[in-house]
Amino acid sequence: MYLDNARPPRVTVGVGNMLPDVAAAQALPFVNTANGQAATAEEVALAYDNVAGMPGALPWRRYKQAPSIEIDQTAAKNLAVERLQNEFIPQLRQAFPHFDAYPFPAQRALIDMAYNMGVGRAARTSHGVHHGARGLYKFEALRRAAEAGDWHTASLHCLRANRRNNPHTARRNAWTQWQFQLADRVTAHREGR
């Protein structure tokens, strides 16, 4: 378990799977790496509480405890695939009605952005109170460009804020921008441009 870089930081496991409480952590197949046995509910709770009490956004190794309570790579992969299939892809299809027709690099870029910050929701007013857009819905120019199939413009409007000059965010932004540029090339090739 580790803390993500949200404000406030949240206990997370695997590939960005937030654990809202101890019960959510106890529902996963954690293993005590010191003895190779399934972690007990008490061990998982102690590990969760210890991580929750630490500063957020540290390198993941800093959250490692003795004994280490971990899920294996297969469990982490299964959690990620389950979220993609049941959460992100359906939400992306709702936010981007032509998502399934997008070039594969554009789909990958949008999936990465959704996994990183959520698909979110459009701005709305409820009971006289305005609630701003969240997640991918904040990227209005990107959403318009995607629906128009204008991948070059999408590549110009896909950058996530990097207030702390985090090199990981910078690399992720460069990769996402490159995916939209690849989508533009794929589209140009298909259209004979």
The predicted-structure confidence for 52-69, as pLDDT tens digits, reads as follows 999 987 888 899 888 899
End-to-end alpha-carbon separation of the chain, Å? 48
Cis peptide before 8, with omega less than 30 degrees from 0? yes
Rounded average pLDDT over 88-104? 97
pTM, two decimals, is: 0.81
- What's the confidence (pLDDT) of residue 163? 77
25, burial (CB in 10 Å: exposed 0-12, middle 13-18, buried 19+) = buried
27 token code pair = 């529902």
- What's the confidence (pLDDT) of residue 67? 85
Query: What is the rounded CA–CA span in Å between residue 91 and residue 102?
Result: 15
Q: Given pLDDT bands bounded at 50, 70 and 90, which one contains residue 193?
A: confident
Evaluate if residue 164 carries a pLDDT over 80. no
Contact predicate 99/109, CB 8 Å:
no
The predicted-structure confidence for 12-55, as pLDDT tens digits, reads as follows 999 889 999 999 999 999 999 999 999 999 999 999 999 999 99
The predicted-structure confidence for 106-156, as pLDDT tens digits, reads as follows 999 999 999 888 999 999 999 999 999 999 999 999 999 999 999 999 999
141 token code pair = 């120019």
Comparing CA positions, the residue from 59, 27, 56, 57 lying closest to residue 44 is 27
Contact predicate 12/83, CB 8 Å:
no
